[in-house]
A and B are shown apart, each in its own frame.
Chain A
Amino acid sequence: DSGVTQTPKHLITATGQRVTLRCSPRSGDLSVYWYQQSLDQGLQFLIQYYNGEERAKGNILERFSAQQFPDLHSELNLSSLELGDSALYFCASSASGQEYNEQFFGPGTRLTVL
């Protein structure tokens, strides 16, 4: 158990809908990262937050947004969902935003868009 929790574990929804994925980092970790793992693209970095502020941005679509709250949990919002958004979404946390900090991964949320 990495100490990172994600909810829900599974999510099934329809095209055009909006969903929110939630991540609670390990106790004391200030940085949260979001990743998408799809069958055709593999694992991709989406976005990183550090202590409430956006720190780095990867291949995140404009239909997606994220935030980190004062209690350090983070939410990833996916809107106008398309079939291709079906994927495993992982969040990871690290002690700080620094490069030498190891990242600990949550169990993932499996999103299926029908």
Chain B
Amino acid sequence: KNEVEQSPQNLTAQEGEFITINCSYSVGISALHWLQQHPGGGIVSLFMLSSGKKKHGRLIATINIQEKHSSLHITASHPRDSAVYICAVRAAGNKLTFGGGTRVLVKP
């Protein structure tokens, strides 16, 4: 079993729909990152959180440390949100361990 599991692996939504991506992890962590990778390959850090909830524009990230679970929500999705979203956890030694990614396609 991988230390970091994401679901779903693939997601297709219509423009305007609310999207939720889930991340579960099995180790103790100091922080969790949500990353976005566009088709060109570049990676952008969206959030780093260790508790509670963070919001940036139409993106919301939540984490429940007790349940070892995080969610990334995209409200009013847009075709430009189409990308791979990757959850990564930071455990001992500041190493990042990555989930397998969720490929999101938002259709106009």
Residue ranges of A at the interface with B (Cβ–Cβ < 8 Å) = 2, 33, 35, 42-45, 48, 55-56, 58, 88, 90, 97-100, 102-105, 107-108, 110
Contact = CB atoms under 8 A, between A and B. Distances in A.
Chain B interface size, under 10 / 10 to 19 / 20 to 34 / 35 or more: 20 to 34
B100 A99 contact: no
A38 to B, nearest CB: 12
Interface in B64-94: 86, 88, 90, 93-94
Contact of B42 (A35, A55, A56, A105): A105
A24 to B, nearest CB: 16
A45 B31 contact: no
A48 B41 contact: no
Contact of A45 (B42, B44, B96): B96
A111 B50 CA distance: 34
Interface of B: 30-31, 33, 35, 41-45, 48, 50, 86, 88, 90, 93-101
Contacts of B35: 105
A107 B40 CA distance: 9
A43 B43 CA distance: 11
